[in-house]
């Protein structure tokens, strides 16, 4: 499927969705970075909170790990969104990277950064399991 298989309205709707998601992700990553820098700055000045009980330390470590995992997930999604916008600009948006067929408007509306049609995505996921 080339971008011509999508209507102009669908293409514009998807472009808007991708741009909005890009901005959301940039804001989320910026907030995480500000929080991380604030904690590091407090620690460097000696303003960090006392370590607390082992339970508090474990909870803080778990919260840090969750924050780091969320940041990694958001960064990976941001890369995928930017790549989708690049594909949109070069005219390859909506083409399955594996078979060259159309990804499908319904799939793109559900997952605007999708690289593969459902059949090829299923195959890729099955290969990844083995």
Q: What is the pLDDT of residues 62-121, one digit of tens each?
A: 888 998 999 999 999 999 999 999 999 999 999 999 999 999 999 999 999 999 999 999
SS3 23: helix
Residue pair 121/114 in contact (Cβ under 8 Å)? The answer is yes
**Confidence (pLDDT) at 127:** 94
Average pLDDT, the chain: 88
Domain-wise residue ranges, the chain: 3-93
To which residue do tokens 């499908």 refer? 104
What does the pLDDT average to over 15-26? Answer: 97
- CA 5: distance to chain centroid? 25
Rounded to an integer, what distance in angstroms lies between the CA atom of residue 108 and that of residue 128? 22
Is 47 or 30 the better-scoring residue by pLDDT?
30
**Confidence (pLDDT) at 104:** 92
Rounded to an integer, what distance in angstroms lies between the CA atom of residue 67 and that of residue 115? 27
Rounded to an integer, what distance in angstroms lies between the CA atom of residue 79 and that of residue 72? 11
Neighbours of 71 (CB within 10 A): 17
To which residue do tokens 């460097």 refer? 44
As a whole number of Å, the end-to-end CA separation of the chain is: 29
pLDDT band at 1 (very low <50, low <70, confident <90, very high): very low
**Confidence (pLDDT) at 46:** 65
**Confidence (pLDDT) at 53:** 79
| CA angle in degrees (0–180, nearest 5) for 68-58-27 | 25
């Amino acid at each position: 499927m080339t971008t011509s298989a999508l209507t102009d309205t669908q293409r514009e709707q998807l472009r808007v969705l991708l741009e909005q998601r890009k901005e959301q992700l940039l804001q989320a990553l910026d907030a995480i970075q500000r929080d991380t820098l604030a904690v590091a700055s407090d620690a460097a000045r000696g303003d960090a909170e006392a370590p607390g009980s082992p339970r508090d330390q474990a909870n803080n470590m778990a919260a840090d790990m969750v924050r780091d995992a969320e940041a990694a997930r958001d960064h990976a999604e941001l890369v995928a969104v930017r790549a989708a916008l690049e594909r949109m600009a070069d005219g390859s948006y909506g083409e399955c990277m594996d078979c060259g067929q159309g990804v499908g408007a319904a799939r793109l509306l559900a997952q605007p950064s999708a690289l593969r049609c459902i059949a090829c995505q299923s195959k890729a996921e099955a290969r990844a399991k083995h």
